[in-house]
Structure 1
Amino acid sequence: MKYLEYTPFERINAFLDQLNLGERTINGCIEAYSCKHTGTDKRLSLSLENEILDHIGNSPDVDSESSVEYLSSRSSRKTLIYLILTLNHMYPDYDFSAVKAHQFFTEETWEGFRQIFDSYMSDASKEWMETNEDSSLMETLFKALDEVINLAECEVYSYDPNSDADPSIEKGSLWSYNFFFYNRKLKRVVSFRFSCLSNLVTDGFTMEGYYEADGDIFDDMDM
């Protein structure tokens, strides 16, 4: 995978870089990648393909409606591999080769993405409108994505880390979403991740701190 620079994304990334909303901070990043293999991608792709085929061959539920059935299609396996490679490039210090197909919610729709974005990014959108009166944050995002990836031809996926060890889950995280827009014709993937962190936690006001404070009070009491 090769990182691709696109000017339409720069304005959005600059705005969503540590957007402080008082008790919360919104972080967001949108990136584009070519599906052309670079460096170790080819070797990892082959390894992932073999692991997937072994999993299919050893599973007793090949005919069931499961990830095994989904991965019986070579096209689906390629898609999964591209998504895993994209994650590896997004977080180069982490290995996502163990990610399973069920951790990607397949065939999401733009409307599904928009509903989640509108629900969780409403305060960020209001902040955007205070300094950018030409268009809303959603309209700007849609235009940028359409220019780079052609949304009408995209498959939309969301990723559920399902692991506390995942690097996308930061200390103090209140919520986190990872979406991928994949265009087979362009052989291109756009990733968009956005999350919310509690400033109370990141500033050191953790639950552990509260417990310690309570302990100090109880020390002076007769039990």
Structure 2
Amino acid sequence: MKFLESSEMDVFSQTLVTGAIDCVIDFKLETYSSKMVTSEKKQWKSNDKSVIWGERQPLGSYEEMVMSASPSVGHNHRLRHLSERSCSGGSDNDFDVNDYLIKDSISRKKLYDLTQVLNCSFPDHDFSNANSEAFALVNYSDLSRLVDMKLETIVRDYHVRREELWGIIDEAIVPGDCQIYSFKSQFEDDPFTEDGCIWALAFIFYNKGLKRFVLLTIRCLSKQADTSIEIFPDFSEDEAEPQEK
């Protein structure tokens, strides 16, 4: 898949990060084409020939992921059943019908695509062996409510910026026409569980009609954490240098 540059996403991410309160924020909002590049085609074809693209594997529980990532969400806050059609809000023609005929499961091909999005965004880590239960279908209204709740506590004047965030996402991927997956880390050595990471959220939007993914990840890091991430430094004109993806 190919990373699709967006200056609007880049500028918003920088603005959000620089408003951090008593922490360091690693915020990613990125768009990817779902079309396989040559290397991915070769990698997929090299898999066990007995593997069927449409073979189903079980998804994880989003309720459990929310409780572990966000203790402040009480048990009396009922999340919708995330296998319902309301998790997307789109029409029947927008999706793989099998994703609704067989609830709470995912095809091997879709699982491969989701892990590739994470691999592209975090090239220093390898998510290729993440199993299907690391992912769960999520309802967009629950996702946006959780993200707003978490960002309100760590971003200065987030209430001024929240409409811009969801406007950018709506324009890029049309959430109502998407399948949306949350990701829960299963590893000790990845960006979501490394030392200094206080909490983390990760979501992948997939719009079949647009042949596109949007990745939204948020990591709240301790100021004392020894981290090598680049938090959009400001350069003077004399010191200006290109940012690396």
Aligned-partner residue type, residue 159 of structure 1: F
Instruction: Provide the C-alpha distance between the structure 2 equivalents of 1:51 and 1:28, rounded to a whole number of angstroms.
Output: 39
Contact 1:17 1:29 (8 Å CA) reproduced:
no
C-alpha deviation, 1:91, in angstroms? 1.5
* 1:115 aligned partner: 145
C-alpha deviation, 1:49, in angstroms? 7.1
Which structure: larger Rg?
Answer: 1
- Post-superposition Cα deviations, 1:35-55, rounded to whole Å, max 9, x if no partner, equal 11124111223345758549x
SS in 1 for 2:17: coil
C-alpha deviation, 1:2, in angstroms? 0.2
* 2:16 aligned partner: 16
Aligned-partner residue type, residue 17 of structure 2: D
- Post-superposition Cα deviations, 1:83-129, rounded to whole Å, max 9, x if no partner, equal 111111112232221111110012x1111111211221113454345
Change (3 A) 1:47 1:100: farther
Instruction: Provide the C-alpha distance between the structure 2 equivalents of 1:125 and 1:105, rounded to a whole number of angstroms.
Output: 27
- Post-superposition Cα deviations, 1:47-77, rounded to whole Å, max 9, x if no partner, equal 45758549x6xxxxx8xx945x97x989733
- Aligned: 1:99 with 2:167: no
- Post-superposition Cα deviations, 1:139-195, rounded to whole Å, max 9, x if no partner, equal 111110111111121111110012111133332111011111100111100001001
Aligned-partner residue type, residue 170 of structure 2: D
Aligned-partner residue type, residue 76 of structure 1: S
How does the TM-score come out when normalised to structure 2? 0.65
- Aligned: 1:33 with 2:14: no
C-alpha deviation, 1:20, in angstroms? 3.6
Alignment of 1:44-193 (within 5 A): 44-47=43-46, 50=49, 53=52, 66-67=58-59, 76-106=107-137, 108-128=138-158, 136-193=160-217
**What percent identity do the matched residue pairs reach?**
27
Which one scores higher on RCO, CA 8 angstroms, separation ≥ 6? 2
Matched positions, count: 186
* 2:81 aligned partner: none
Contact 2:199 2:220 (8 Å CA) reproduced:
yes
Contact 1:30 1:192 (8 Å CA) reproduced:
yes
SS in 2 for 1:105: strand
TM-align CA RMSD: 3.2
Q: Which consecutive unaligned segments of at least 5 residues does structure 2 have?
A: 60-97, 228-245
Instruction: Provide the C-alpha distance between the structure 2 equivalents of 1:2 and 1:95, rounded to a whole number of angstroms.
Output: 17
More helix by share: 1
